[in-house]
Amino acid sequence: MPLYHSQLYKDSLAQLENAAEAMSADPNIVERLKYPKRAIQVSIPIRLDDGTVKTFEGYRVQHNLTLGPGKGGIRFHPHVDLSETTALAMLMTFKCALVGLPLGGAKGGVKVDPNDLSRQELQGLTRRYAMEIGPFVGPDKDIPAPDIGTDKQTMAWFMDTYSQVQGYAAHGVVTGKPISIGGSLGREAATGKGVAYCINFAYDKMDKEINHSTTVAIHGFGKVGVPAAVDLSEQGAKIVAVSDHTGGVYCEQGLNVLDLQEFCSKEKGLLKDYTRAGVEHISNSDLLALEVDVLIPAAIDSVITIENMEQVKAKIIAEGANGPLTKEAIKYLSEKGVFIIPDILCNAGGVIVSYFEWVQGLAHFFWDEDQINKTLHSILKNAFAEVVKKSEHYKVDMKTAAMCAALAKLEAAMKLRGLFPG
């Protein structure tokens, strides 16, 4: 399948080229960043519970390792392909560079619907995938993490498989692990908490504050959307709408976020089945078009496109997902005055605390949650200020400015390291 197949990859290349043009970046550096360093495709045969053998497609893409080992999640989803995985790896390169982490960009995935497999089948899939990509990952090579369709249990299986081969407990091979086997406090909520931090920074920039009149809609009430909703509601904001793949729920007076969280996590409920007094059901399309102060697209890429961008009425869009706005939507909404907090900044909380977990694992010394959240806040605050500065300096939108800031760091490092063999 061609690398240029997915909309996300095309949009990622367009962002790179826009930033390169704005800052007059070295064209040789830009050319190198258009292509991944390494793209691995593997076959994953597993025995299903009924005794039959089924083979799945798996990928691991390492985009750029100039700044350090690869870092990026593993996604179990029916739409995973080489193009999407490459685009996500590219975004990870820029994300790590932007927030100053000594890590490169990578991503992995398996083309599968995890809901179709039993726990035993999922374990078999994870362990065989870990074996197939094992030669290319490791604490000093490439460090996977959870993503859509995977979680801390997936990471535990992956770590155990890799450790069995190595002959010792290799804590640093993955992040997002359970606390009991070397995971970090604060990791699970880090991406959503980072989204909330960035929204606060945006409000500070506008000389405003989040209060009971602040309205928020969240597209994708999951790993990112839930902690963002909890954090913002604790500050007094009204979460008026949230959604999952089955649809959304809306309440003008504000939803009970903790009740929703309990329903979705403990009861494993779908929002289409959520019924409470005063709550009405809406579609995902309806949610994106709500007149709210803050819209958080926190599900998948390319949900706000040329088809629906004119319906968006939010004043601030915080990109909790990777690439939720296409390039046409970014241009249109930015020109309309919508403040877009770009994905490589807005959802960087996850990789930042993954970095903390990796460091803690290598040092065998663990931090308390307060220290983790304070350091996360500080890194994101500095990165946000840098993006604003680049936006004002180059007179570009925040999305392009974030890429400029990341590209400047990569350009400097790549020039210093040079081109081998020269």
Q: Render pLDDT for 290-301 as a digit per residue (tens, 0 to 9).
A: 999 999 999 988
For position 1, what pLDDT does the model report?
A: 47
Average pLDDT, the chain: 94
Q: Is the residue at 245 inside a domain? A: yes
> Tens of pLDDT along 112-159?
999 999 999 999 999 999 999 999 999 999 999 999 899 999 999 999
231 occurs within a structural domain? yes
Answer for the pair 142, 93: CB distance below 8 angstroms, yes or no. Answer: no
Q: Which domain holds residue 95?
A: 7-170
Between CA 178 and CA 15 the distance in angstroms is 35
216 in the same domain as 145:
no
In a domain, 301, yes or no: yes
Tokens of 148: 């859509």
Distance CA 395, CA 316 (A): 19
Q: Are residues 148 and 247 in the same domain?
A: no
Are residues 34 and 153 both part of a single domain?
yes
Q: What is the pLDDT of residue 174?
A: 97
Q: Do 161 and 199 fall into the same domain?
A: no
21 token code pair: 């043009």
Asked if residue 70 and residue 158 are part of one domain, the reply reads yes
Is 179 inside any structural domain? no
Residue 107 annotated among the catalytic residues of the structure = yes
295, 244: one domain: yes
Q: Residues 51-108: pLDDT tens digits?
A: 999 999 999 999 999 999 999 999 999 999 999 999 999 999 999 999 999 999 999 9
Pick from 287, 314, 341: which residue ends a domain?
341
Q: What is the CATH number of the domain that holds 72?
A: 3.40.50.10860
Same domain (yes/no): 158, 196: no
Q: How many domains does the chain have?
A: 2
What is the domain-level CATH number for residue 297?
3.40.50.720
Nearest to 177, CA basis, from 138, 142, 150, 195: 150
pLDDT above 70 (res 354):
yes
Hey, what are 287's tokens? Answer: 């949610």
Three-class DSSP labels, 269-289: CCHHHCCCCCCEEECHHHHHC
DSSP structural state of residue 136: G
Residue at 331 is within a domain: yes
- Whether the predicted model's global pTM rises above the 0.85 cut: yes
Final residue of a domain: which of 341, 375, 403? 341
**Do 211 and 150 share a structural domain?**
no
Selecting among 107, 193, 331, 390, the annotated active-site residue is 107
Which percentage of the chain shows pLDDT scores above 70? Answer: 98
pLDDT at 3: 58
157/284 same-domain check: no
Task: Give the closest residue to 293 by CA, choosing from 247, 339, 348, 236.
Answer: 339
pLDDT at 2 over 60: no
Q: What is the pLDDT of residue 81?
A: 93
Do residues 146 and 99 share a domain?
yes
In angstroms and rounded to an integer, the radius of gyration of the C-alpha atoms of the chain is 21
Domain assignment present for residue 98? The answer is: yes
Task: Output the pLDDT for position 264.
Answer: 86
Q: Are residues 194 and 292 in the same domain?
A: yes
Distances (CA, A) of 18 to 23, 336, 348, 409: 9, 19, 21, 16
Does 199 share its domain with 331? Answer: yes
Q: Could you give the maximum distance between any two Cα atoms of the chain, in Å?
A: 68
